[in-house]
Structure 1
Amino acid sequence: MPGARLLDLTRSLRRAGRIATGVDRVEHAYLEQFLADDVPLFGLVRTPYGYILLDQNGMQDFLDRIDARVPWGEVDLLSRLPRRRSIAHQRAESDVRRLARAQVLPSRLPKMLSEVLPEGYVYFNVGHSNLTDRVLGAIHGSDGRIAAMVHDLIPLEHPAFQRAEIIEPFRDKMRRISASADWVIYNSNDTRERAEKFMEGWGRVPPAIVAHLGSEVPRADASQLPKGLALEGPYFVTVGTIEPRKNHAFLLDIWDELGAAAPPLFICGSRGWNNEGVFARLDQPLVENNVYELSGLSDQALAALVQGCAGALFPSLAEGYGFPPLEALALGSRVLCNDLPVFGEILGNRPVYAPVSDRYLWINTIKNWEESPPQAQNVDLFVGPSWSDHFKTVLRLR
């Protein structure tokens, strides 16, 4: 067991006040687990002015604010200076400064870590943020070890799906993990196989483990749904950011083909990037084809919508893990998805798999499900991987 753990919370700070993505939820799960353990815990956050170190009490206070048990405080002067940042981000950064055990300019990071953390501590970075030469060098320079999680390789394998400006920085992060990590934590065997092919070309493949991510199914609460949704008959949902790899265009094409007789389709997610064609289609009147765009739903409202649907549809072209179909199955929904290897690894034989090259199979399945809605009393709920099992694997690292 390490003498202490250092968890990077830079991503959680930057995304304060925003709807949590899958990666956000992983960082949150690590924070909760490590706070519950007996091993001394510290948190590291990067700001525009340097680095902040939180102790265990500070991290508990940070979690209380992330979970809205305690409100964020007022914005301080330093947090007002950088431009184009949300008020939530400014308030979160201001509070982190107030909660700090220590804070230093970038050049002083190795000294701060050496003075506060015991030899042999383990630095966990599970959010793909703050993976810089300075940080990784400071960890090793202060006799720490590095455990980094890799969630996916999508920017390297499918650069057309991403903003152009993130591709090379992402490649640099993966190269640094390859060169510096003492262990790599993968969310699936599929991700590990894909990542290690790149790392072999870069010259070093670090020791690794695979630990499937835990799933926490939110309580469904239909009272939180927007009023007036067309939920009287069979309807379908798809969940995820509206970005190219989620392949919303495929579903819009199907609904165009189904025409006026199509059942309602609810597209649940915020708008992403590189998807102007889909955005333009969504900006047209789609009500005649029964397509509705919903963003900003609470977890409880989304769970209610998914739980009541005739089927949840996931024609994704690439995934690192796939929380939305996993959670749809756990809520008792039928799932129709593209035949990606990671879906087969995580979801087994529970979904209906259909390659997106076979539009006929998709249309046929949707029509059949529309005509035969699932019977709630006959639903055999899917039980996905648990966080308990995940941490049993991860915390065996020595």
Structure 2
Amino acid sequence: MAYLRRLVADDVPAFALVRTPLGYVLLDRAGMASLVLRIEGSVPWARPDLLSRLARGQTAVQQAAQTDVRRLAMARTLPRGLAAMLRKHLPQGTTYLNTGHSNLTDRVLQAAQGLGGRIGVFVHDVIPLEFPQFQRPETVEPFRAKMRRVQACADVIICNSADTLHRAGQVMAQWGTVPEGIVAHLGTDLTTPQPDMLPDDLPPSGPYFISVGTIEPRKNHALLLDVWDAMGADAPTLLICGARGWNNAAVFARLDGRTDTRVIERAGLSDGAVAALIAGSCGLVFPSFAEGYGLPPVEAAALGVPVVANDLPVIREILGNIPVYLPAHDRYLWEKTLKDMAEAGQQGREKVQFQAPGWSQHFNTVLRSL
């Protein structure tokens, strides 16, 4: 969304390519601006049209979005006509910028190459290839195929950290020449804490720690549950804010089987509510095994909240010595550290001083590279 807003505000000609179940849609700047208003909620989505309703497996919101992008389009085509549509409507030498891990297909990348401009791809991480045990089994090989196409077709890869760039380079070097790479730390859209958005039973009445993010194996919630089991009845509260993910049946069973209130699981809270919970906590706990960037610790530090994290290179790159770093498997050390922090409480904690990276520097770095 940050990229969409930035390109709409720029004075350089900009276009957006949207894939739908029926093919591809091309938006000009006016169409992109109208799409931003709908995503932000300033303008309501349209009622789904017949074509959208005929598409299988689509939610009502997806149907409405597809209806609107077709109405806003400067051009659209079936998949086989993509290259011809781009050649007809885009200037020769147009740069193609892919900001996610989607649409990295031969069809799209070859069509972009046909424009004669540079191709830039944002690589957020290569975790599926480094830690396949944390992924859905069926997702690993498709991700590998995407990264191989990026290695073969991209002129520049944009990474959110030097650690990600290093890891992506190691992976791609197995297949041939590694594209030029740049590092652009993600900007942070800090959310103002909104305690009035919290449900009546939150925040917990006593001291608590908070974990933010999808409940998946890579995030290592199992360690946190081990720590809280070991701390016993006098433990502070552990507040787990995030939706349930995949391949995590054992952790889900432990959460479902708890009869105490020392561990609270909550999903679907607003950003303002989560920010309020982070701000009121004794600290954010982040024992993740692997990250491309690690946004929750950055957001917590920006709110002045202590962070306890696994000692990952990317966390040190962004936050330096601000977090308390603990090994991801050392239950005893986590238990002792969190007990000490809980006893000190909010009043006894040292205020974290941290200025989160901004989007301005991010875009200056990225757009200069293209």
Q: TM-score range by the shorter chain?
A: over 0.9
2:136 partner amino acid:
R
Matched with 1:79 is: 52
Matched with 1:330 is: 302
Distance 1:132 1:114 in 2: 18
Matched with 2:208 is: 235
Q: What does 1:206-217 align with in structure 2 at a 5 Å threshold? A: 206-217=179-190
1:145 CA drift (Å): 2.1
Matched with 2:334 is: 362
CA separation of 1:106/1:216 partners in 2, compared to 1, >3 Å: closer, same or farther? same
Matched with 1:200 is: 173
Matched with 1:381 is: 353
1:189 and 2:162 are equivalent in the alignment: yes
TM normalised by structure 2 equals 0.97
Distance 1:35 1:389 in 2: 17
1:44 CA drift (Å): 0.2
Among candidates 285, 299, 307, match of residue 313 of structure 1 = 285
Among candidates 110, 115, 126, match of residue 142 of structure 1 = 115
Distance 2:239 2:231 in 1: 15
Matched with 1:9 is: none
Matched with 1:299 is: 271
Distance 2:49 2:192 in 1: 36
Q: What does 1:1-398 align with in structure 2 at a 5 Å threshold? A: 28-288=1-261, 290-375=262-347, 379-398=351-370
Q: SS where residue 60 of structure 1 aligns?
A: helix
Q: SS where residue 210 of structure 2 aligns?
A: strand
CA separation of 1:344/1:286 partners in 2, compared to 1, >3 Å: closer, same or farther? farther
Q: SS where residue 364 of structure 2 aligns?
A: helix
1:73 CA drift (Å): 1.1
- Identify unmatched segments of 5+ residues in structure 1: 1-27
1:69 partner amino acid:
S
1:165 CA drift (Å): 1.4
Does the CA-based 8 Å contact 2:226-2:331 persist in structure 1? no
Q: SS where residue 216 of structure 1 aligns?
A: coil
Q: Root-mean-square deviation (CA), in Å?
A: 1.4
1:375 CA drift (Å): 3.4
Q: SS where residue 204 of structure 2 aligns?
A: coil
TM normalised by structure 1 equals 0.90
Deviation per CA, 1:94-124: give whole Å up to 9, x if none: 1111111100111111111111111211111
Does the CA-based 8 Å contact 1:211-1:393 persist in structure 2? yes
Q: SS where residue 329 of structure 2 aligns?
A: coil
Distance 1:141 1:73 in 2: 34
CA separation of 1:301/1:230 partners in 2, compared to 1, >3 Å: closer, same or farther? closer
CA separation of 1:152/1:258 partners in 2, compared to 1, >3 Å: closer, same or farther? same
Residues 74-83 or 50-59, more deviating: 74-83
1:230 CA drift (Å): 4.9
2:254 partner amino acid:
R
Does the CA-based 8 Å contact 2:305-2:352 persist in structure 1? no
CA separation of 1:286/1:202 partners in 2, compared to 1, >3 Å: closer, same or farther? farther
Deviation per CA, 1:215-235: give whole Å up to 9, x if none: 111010001111122533211
Does the CA-based 8 Å contact 2:210-2:239 persist in structure 1? yes
Distance 2:164 2:352 in 1: 29
Distance 2:235 2:180 in 1: 50
Does the CA-based 8 Å contact 1:286-1:292 persist in structure 2? no
2:325 partner amino acid:
Y
Deviation per CA, 1:151-177: give whole Å up to 9, x if none: 011110111111111111100110000
Does the CA-based 8 Å contact 2:322-2:352 persist in structure 1? no
**Count of aligned pairs between the two proteins:** 370
Q: SS where residue 41 of structure 1 aligns?
A: coil
1:178 CA drift (Å): 0.2
1:330 partner amino acid:
A
Q: Percent identity?
A: 57
1:376 CA drift (Å): 9.0
Residues 78-87 or 116-125, more deviating: 78-87
